[in-house]
Amino acid sequence: MRTDLVVIGAGPAGVAASLAAAARGTRVALVDGATEAGGQFYRQPAAGLGAGRPQALHHRWRTWERLRDGLAASAVQVLTDHHVWCVERGSGGFVVHALLGPEQEEPAEVHARAVLLATGGYEQVLPFPGWTLPGVVTAGGAQAMLKGGLVVPGRRAVVAGTGPLLLPVATGLATAGVEIAALVESAGPARLARHGPALAGKLPEGAGYAARLLRHRVPFLARHTVVRAHGDERLTGVTVAALDSGGRVRPGTERHLPCDTLAVGHGMLPHTDLAEGLGCGLDGLAVAVDAEQRTHVPGVWAAGEATGIGGAALALAEGHIAGCSAAASLHGTAPDPAPAALKARTKLRRSAVALEAAYAPPAHWPEQVTDDTVVCRCEEVTAGAVRDALDLGAGDVRTVKLLTRAGMGWCQGRMCGGAVAGLAGCPPAPARRPFARPVPLGVLARQHPQEGQS
């Protein structure tokens, strides 16, 4: 199909961008790999599950109802179940390559004059002994099970790690009937207090979560971390310990918490694979954009978590601004974003920077990773193997990868890249990958069949 603007990602940023561009006379195709629009934040249960009150599992549901109704009333062509693996740039515009079908083997293409990337983010989980046991899930994974499948990962859970995502996960599971043995947060009140002015707007939301935790009598352990998960065939409990001011475990503070589920996460990272494949510049680990959400590549915009983790409200503001800018560029007019969106972006981006600093993972987490702990799950590379590579002279993630195969598996380092960098003592760096997801060889062979003919 052909269109003016293709928006990749149907979360808050993508939906807001699509509505803004369509309202200004732009033909828009909204592409997403899920079965419904909404993204992780507004993930909904399948209609066949018969959820009577899906809003009970969500925050700011009325905002989503407005977005959903606006999308239904608009001319935006929504293409769900489209798993985008590559975006090609040519003289006539862009070609978005996607995979369809239950096995994701059916190719599809969308041709557009411009591209808007709203690809969101993904969770970071730092390894610790026992983290590969059945029963250990990511915090976002536990939330997705609840929102999308109306199921809970277990009966007694520990929610641990660091970051604002832990609060809605803990309260959501508790509301669904899961006994929360503890909410274990490695950040402490003092660190949050240092960023108080920038986080003032988040206080009402935080207070709401705190009230729900109190209502469900959830123990809250600040400046604590999980040092080990226990079990043979599956998780039976975890050991947690207090952290000192430098982020090291304080000896003698260990305690055991019986549980059958550990929902753990250490923050979010931007999805930048498609942006990097197009040649977009990065600002740290996020896609770099200007005041109109334009990337360094002409005809490409980006918004939401891809430009820096900041939450749904910021994603909505950035998506609106990006959609207005893309539409104006395509029609040769001046962009006209709502002043409220511009104001919200400035305020919320400041809060996002403060949250990132306040919820940084403990500085010395690699000290708790034993040599037999698997770091790269795809290739089963242990922390000991990574350390052996360092002893041989490896000084960066790429050299460790060459010596150990860490990051060469199915996920291509998306899950283990940060952990390997931490063990190697170097900052995490973007890893440019040719494709954003695994692609069957048959699909690649069919892309340009004439090239294989003599």
**CA distance readout (Å), 151 to 15, 71, 176, 234, 365:** 27, 28, 9, 19, 32
The gap between the terminal CA atoms of the chain, to the nearest Å, is 30
Average pLDDT of span 27-43: 93
Report residue 260 as tokens.
């059958």
pLDDT tens digit string along 264-288? 999 999 999 999 999 999 999 999 9
CA separation for the pair 57, 127 (Å, rounded): 29
Q: What is the pLDDT of residue 104?
A: 82
3-state secondary structure of 230: strand
Answer whether residue 359 shows pLDDT above 80. yes
Q: Measured in whole angstroms, how far is the alpha carbon of residue 267 from the centre of its chain?
A: 8
Please give the pLDDT value at position 45: 78
Burial call 350-378: b when 16+ CB within 10 Å, e when fewer: bbbebbbebbbbbeebbebbeeebbbbeb
Structural domain spans, the chain:
2-122+269-337, 125-266, 369-424
State the fold for domain 369-424: Arc Repressor Mutant, subunit A (1.10.10)
CATH node for 2-122+269-337 = 3.50.50.60
Lowest-pLDDT choice from 200-204, 240-244, 255-259, 299-303: 200-204
Q: Which tens digits make up the pLDDT trace of 246-257?
A: 999 999 999 999
pTM: 0.93
Same fold, 2-122+269-337 and 125-266: yes
Coil vs helix vs strand at 56: helix
CATH 3.40.50.720 applies to domain 125-266: no
